[in-house]
Structure 1
């Protein structure tokens, strides 16, 4: 017979998995939670009640709740509307932004973007934390953690930005330490984290966007500059031994192509970003902060009617397809998501892009690798929120007790 103590320990051990199921929308009712956890109804009920006591979810047993497996009304589980939040921050080459992110990947509050980034990372992070602190004060919410998304590989475990190529920051800037110090200066006692923006976008898409349900999810995207990539395996980011995996931007797609800032030639990073498309179409690039919109608008308005835009778009699509094919051969993902300008290229001519991937990759020929657009509008911020929430998802009771 199972002792009361054993049942209690089992319930506590299930708090994290249960919270993640509700967080990702996979357990909308207590009946589904019972099945997914593989526990008794009593244990599932106790777990849900504990998460509600912690202020993380709500349990609705009233009429109209979703139906359970036996046709009986089942308690509906949802994210608490007034629950705690994470402070999420993102730095781009053209600015920074702060937001509050709740469970379920919900953006509770978002500050307007700042259009400038100082060459001193401490100045930038102090400003973005101050913006986030103001959001927290206005919201009155408890902050469980803070996380920063940056356009650079972030070395683990020290949290240094090894190659902020599109920022004027020094190589090896200790961004996590600076970010944590800025949080303390602002009176935010929650733990601070830092990660690569593309990695965090992929994590957000896997949990709340177009990547839901994929076991091996590959994300590739380009913003105003360069190309980033990330891989999520069984719900966890594959970041390599030191956090530096999936620097896909420096995969060669044209050996005779343009010199890349990494020292090589013809990299995906420099052959498939907005500048590459504008150059191929004979267009002068505009200011730094509008390159993505400029290239995207050109494709949307000129493809396929304008011959120059058509040829330029097809050239960049073919380069992108070649790079994706190489990644498919190495990683064998079961889904690929494209963001930024790459999403626009997919929407412009999905058939051509998919044909290149299929022709040039072994696994792509099976037709079993869907190539889809990303779906989250602020994927980097949502992903930073995911990073900040992770210690709570792992052990809600300990994390929230420490925060209190």
Structure 2
């Protein structure tokens, strides 16, 4: 009798320990059926069925009551698994140079609701973060959905464990602003349940793309992206962001790609940050830059509509060559298995993909035979989705504990 009880308890504990991995498989689209879930977890069909049933009981996923199979497939039909559309949500907020945006994000990286973004960011981080949290709270009240937590994406390196924004260069916040503390206080003050997290916007974009977009399936994913000004980078290793010892890793914008180039705010010259951002492109194309909060759109529109112009094409080729030089250096150091590009860099890749890939391959140690796939980011609002991933992570780690 004691042996049977012990065996039952062991099976139960094994099943509960599989809840988090199972939820992550469904969340990232890697387990569309119970048969795939069984295989990925390495458990019996009965255990996988029990795990799926418990996740369904928690209101997180949906298990089709009748098994089915895709057209042309062989073998026993299996129950399809999907995230529950009426399930809990995470609050996501993003602050950037041209305003802020609030959203509710469900499992699977699905945007449930968004609020129109404001277009002005003042010099007071507490005011801005308070306003975006108020928008989040309104969205949550209107939805009537359960909330698991909140995440905030900011255009700055965020030092850990303090949670201070060290260099919000392109918004007027003071260096070292305690953004994590401010955000957590605002979330609590608005009555929003669950923990609150803050991260760098490019880091969070990379995390979202790794789980739901162009980076899905990569083991060592490098993301490089531009906003209106500057260049950011991020690295995802085996599903987790690599942020270094204090949250400051992958400041790729300060790789030198043109030693005689423009002065950079870091004290150097010719960094990626000032040689491959929208302002650099507009200057190289001999166009008058508009307001800072519209530079990315201005540069993107110019690439799409006037690429036949000699000055525009020449500027694009100049930036592609410099971006390729920077990416090749990162390939030599990090050896990623995939690179994804966002912002203006995505538009440059779309404009002349072969030129960029050739530059990276020519300057990397492994040559053309070992060139790394370079792809555009694919998610709309990927930093928002990534901010929500921070709030979803405790649920993915231990659904029972997080939802208790």
TM-score between both structures, scaled by the size of structure 1: 0.97
SS of match in other structure, 1:355: helix
Aligned residues: 400
Q: Is the Cα contact below 8 Å between 1:66 and 1:75 reproduced in 2? A: no
Specify which of 329, 335, 352 is matched with residue 332 of structure 1.
335
Partner of 1:365: 368
1:334–1:63: structure 2 CA closer, same or farther, 3 Å change rule?
Answer: closer
Q: Is the Cα contact below 8 Å between 1:89 and 1:384 reproduced in 2? A: yes
For residues 72 and 386 of structure 2, the distance between their equivalents in structure 1, rounded to whole angstroms, comes to 32
1:319 aligns with 2:322: yes
Q: CA deviation at 1:359?
A: 1.0
Q: CA deviation at 1:309?
A: 1.0
Q: Is the Cα contact below 8 Å between 1:89 and 1:147 reproduced in 2? A: yes
SS of match in other structure, 2:350: helix
For residues 368 and 212 of structure 1, the distance between their equivalents in structure 2, rounded to whole angstroms, comes to 19
251-260 or 356-365: bigger deviation: 356-365
Q: CA RMSD in A?
A: 1.4
TM-superposition CA deviations, 1:84-138 (whole Å, max 9, x none): 0000000001100000000000000011111011101000010000000000000
Q: Which runs of 5+ in 2 are unaligned?
A: none
* Superposed structure 1 runs of 4+ greater than 3 Å apart: 63-70
SS of match in other structure, 2:403: helix
Partner of 1:292: 296
Q: Is the Cα contact below 8 Å between 2:361 and 2:371 reproduced in 1? A: no
For residues 196 and 239 of structure 1, the distance between their equivalents in structure 2, rounded to whole angstroms, comes to 10
For residues 345 and 67 of structure 1, the distance between their equivalents in structure 2, rounded to whole angstroms, comes to 39
Q: CA deviation at 1:186?
A: 0.7
Partner of 1:62: 66
Q: CA deviation at 1:310?
A: 1.3
Q: CA deviation at 1:189?
A: 2.7
Q: Which runs of 5+ in 1 are unaligned?
A: none
TM-score between both structures, scaled by the size of structure 2: 0.97
Q: Is the Cα contact below 8 Å between 1:146 and 1:193 reproduced in 2? A: yes
1:306 aligns with 2:309: yes
Map 1:208-287 to 2 at 5 A.
208-287=212-291
1:32 aligns with 2:33: no
Q: CA deviation at 1:301?
A: 1.8
Q: Is the Cα contact below 8 Å between 1:299 and 1:344 reproduced in 2? A: yes
For residues 376 and 72 of structure 1, the distance between their equivalents in structure 2, rounded to whole angstroms, comes to 34
SS of match in other structure, 1:3: helix
Q: Is the Cα contact below 8 Å between 1:68 and 1:74 reproduced in 2? A: no
